[in-house]
Amino acid sequence: MHKVTFHDHKPKTLSLHDAVLDGLSREDKRIPPKFFYDARGSKLFERICEQPEYYPPSVECDMLGGLADEIAQLAGRGRLLIEPGAGSAAKVRLLLDALRPAAFVPMDISFDFLKSAATQLAGEYPWLPVHATCVDFSHSLPVPEAAPDAPRLLFFPGSSLGNFDRAEAGAFLSRVRDTIGSDGMLLIGVDTKKDEAVLNAAYNDAAGITAEFNRNLIHRMRRELDLQVDPDTFEHKAFYNAEAGRIEMHLVSREPQHIELDGKRFRLAEGESLHTENSYKYAPEEFLSMAAGCGLQPLRYWLDEQRLFAIYLLRVADI
């Protein structure tokens, strides 16, 4: 079995403490969605992916399973496969046998989650060198020096691009282009625009898992920052904002309350919301025009029959 190597680029970026301090000080209170993902949040997200209303994972997995050979033919074998936000690395398993990468670089912000996922994957694929990298991929995509010098394929499934605002998404795609280099490719899954009822149901599952995932931010604030705040005083609210082309998630205060941090008192009125996530949806032509602006051109792209989800294989455009 190949050894797994671990690389820690632990975020020197915004801490939960600073994000909460900054987010509560604003008129429109908000906390960035990356703070959902501690060990508990990552597990809750796994459970969201099993909910029948949250269609992206099942649709994308069906598509990837059916497309693996075609993707391998287009991309070729032996690439260095990089996956920012790999989580449990479930989706990449659908591609590994077809792609036979030279090595795999899973990146994730949650070290414990990354460690167990990478160790398990290396056990299942003894031929695959794994270079697990703990990093906040929204800031950098550091490929470890120990990774082989092979043409790169960056895999970014799950429509995680949608959690960036448009400017951030452009900046991320440009960073991807710089990371993969002139012979690099990007395989990316992006949620499409569709019937609002389908979108609204996906973020309001009947079992309440998305609500609990959303409230995990309050649990983290209690646990990690010692704040006196009750998760049950916040209601989960998620809806499609058609004008902005995005799902918005909020935590709405059920009652007037104060949150104290660093001797500062932040007042929340009844009904006031803490904006916790945006999830942008892209029509194929919107996504392709943004990618083109970042120097990425499509080799091929696929939609499922119901046009619920899109998978794009892009290469770096010639200058």
Q: Please give the residue ranges that form the binding site for ligand AVI (CB under 6 A).
A: 48, 158-160, 162-163, 203, 210, 277, 279
Rg of the Cα atoms in the chain:
20
Q: How far is the CB of 155 from ligand AVI (least distance, A)?
A: 14
Smallest distance, ligand AVI to C-beta of residue 85, A: 7
- Which of 47, 21, 56, 48 lies closest to 35, judged by CA? 21
Q: How far is the CB of 111 from ligand AVI (least distance, A)?
A: 18
Q: Are 91 and 60 in contact (CB under 8 A)?
A: yes
**Rounded CA separation 253/276 (Å):** 13
**Cα separation of 18 and 93, whole Å?**
36
CB of residue 26 to ligand AVI, shortest distance in Å: 21
* Smallest separation (angstroms) from ligand AVI to the CB of 201: 12
Nearer residue to ligand AVI within complex by CB, 36 or 104: 36
Other beta carbons less than 10 A from residue 211's beta carbon: 20
CA distance 142 to 226: 32
Report the distance separating Cα 231 and Cα 318, nearest Å: 51
Question: Residue 253 or residue 279: which is nearer to ligand AVI going by CB?
Answer: 279
Task: Give the sheet arrangement for strand 234-241, strand by strand.
Answer: 234-241, 246-253, 273-280
Which CB atom, from 32 or from 158, has the smaller least distance to ligand AVI? Answer: 158
Which amino acid, one-letter code, is at 212?
A: E
Q: How far is the CB of 179 from ligand AVI (least distance, A)?
A: 20
Nearer to ligand AVI, 4 or 107 (CB): 107
Residues with Cβ within 8 Å of residue 33, at least 6 apart in sequence: 163, 249, 276, 277, 278
Q: Which is nearer to ligand AVI, 48 or 316 (CB)?
A: 48
287 conformational bin, left if phi > 0, alpha if psi -120 to 50, beta if neither: alpha
Q: Which residue is nearest to ligand AVI (CB)?
A: 279
Least separation in angstroms between residue 306's CB and ligand AVI is 17
Q: Is the dihedral of CA 152, 166, 274, 17 positive or negative?
A: positive
Closest contact distance (angstroms) between CB of 253 and ligand AVI is 20
Nearer to ligand AVI, 253 or 278 (CB): 278
CA atoms within 13 A on the CB side of 224: 17
The residue with tokens 């794994």 is 130
- For ligand AVI, which is the closer residue by CB, 153 or 190? 190
CB of 210 or CB of 273, closer to ligand AVI: 210
